[in-house]
Structure 1
């Protein structure tokens, strides 16, 4: 059973959606049979990494609101995150271009550690106030996951996995993804947005049941019985 998830590192609902999905998976008896693939999606490919700018200032600028209103909007998002056990440190977030981090996640996939890498990168951005558009930061995350630090550094200094990121984004356009997170179950059903855990569980169960229908019982003997219309009784 496959689940593809298009998301961006700087998207708060992507992290919240990840937690809500995980809460659903904790109740899903077949979770070990689920293969999750994280697909790249850049909300703003032209975004410039700005370590000196606060995320409050960036939001206010983009929304055309005051700094105080931007802070209020982020505080509200932080409250939503707390509901699923996440702590967003908006005061220390570093606005970044996420392309390098997406390439790193594709590298992590080759090591079978993409899901863990996704969690580490999201935590680095939203909670730890780290610059995830920095090679040193990603090398440290890779080393924490058991990757060879020299390999990670060497790979990120090239354009490796650029095509993989671009292909994910091309796929997103082909299937009409307009926002993230965007979840596709077994190429059959799509869920857009950070939906409640109950909905994720419902979809997981539906997809599993369709892929693994209960077998019809084998009839070993027949005898006198009443028909549906009662005509044989």
Structure 2
């Protein structure tokens, strides 16, 4: 959802912007085959009732719908996502990380596909134009594991503990699935601030954004 809102914001900003996806696992200890459904998982993790878990999920589905996304979470297949991340890094080497990321997200949130399953991942990769045999061989090995782990180490160094997390120009942080307007405001401020910094030959402080908006810290 945060990805879609960012994309909507970028379309409204007249400035060249490159988006690079990074790997991050919310639960690296999760098994490939999870017995609990999304409601049971939420109830167990956050200590909420099943009805509260369902209500929370309904809110997420509605929020997704408002930005044009069709989330089907009732039968969502929870899984370990490490291999899906390895596939995105493999796709990155082929110049197709954006397409692969989008395809995996749609498979997971909308199509109720098992994105921890190698056969499923291979099919998805073939759909975006990657070589089926090469993908199957990669998934059967440990290839790209170090690339995923390197991204996750970088996340730890930045203190990232949740997603979505947006790091802009390696110094501005914006967390959560912010409204499109917040993304627009933040990016425009960053563009202006960095332009002034370049003109003055100075280093700038980071822009801090939360649910209340964004501001540039005063020196």
**Normalised by the size of structure 1, how large is the TM-score?**
0.79
91-100 vs 198-207, which moves further: 198-207
Q: Which residue is 1:20 aligned to?
A: 5
Which whole-Å CA distance do the structure 2 matches of 1:156 and 1:140 have between them? 12
Instruction: State the alpha-carbon separation in 2 of the partners of residues 77 and 185 from structure 1.
Output: 25
Alpha-carbon separation, structure 2, partners of 1:167 and 1:64: 32
Matching residue of 1:130: 113
Q: Distance in 2 between matches of 1:156 and 1:82?
A: 33
Q: Deviations over 1:49-74 (max 9, x none)?
A: 33553222222222233333322221
What SS class does the counterpart of residue 74 from structure 2 fall into?
helix
Alignment pair present for 1:68 and 2:68: no
2:30 counterpart residue number? 47
> CA offsets, 1:15-74, max 9 Å, x none?
x100110110110122xx322111111111101233553222222222233333322221
What residue in structure 2 maps to residue 148 of structure 1?
A: 131
> Residue 35 of structure 1 aligns to a residue in which SS?
coil
Aligned to 1:28, what secondary structure does the other structure show?
coil
Contact 2:10 2:17 in 1 (8 A): no
Q: Which residue of structure 2 aligns with residue 59 of structure 1?
A: 42
Shift of 1:212: 4.8
Looking at structure 2, the residues matched to 125 and 46 of structure 1 have their Cα atoms a distance apart, in angstroms, of 19
Larger radius of gyration, structure 1 or 2? 1
- Structure 1: which 5+ runs fail to align? 1-15, 217-233
Tell me, what secondary structure is at the counterpart of 2:154?
Answer: helix
- Is the deviation greater in 195-204 or in 97-106? 195-204
SS in 2 for 1:92: coil
Which of 90, 110, 121 aligns to 2:73? It is 90
Distance 1:211 1:62 in 2: 41
Aligned ranges 1:65-214 → 2 under 5 Å: 65-212=48-195
Does the CA contact (< 8 Å) of 1:49 and 1:96 recur in 2? yes
Structure 2: gaps (5+ residues): 200-219
State the aligned residue count.
Answer: 199
Is the Cα contact below 8 Å between 1:23 and 1:197 reproduced in 2? yes
TM-score, normalized by length of structure 2?
0.84
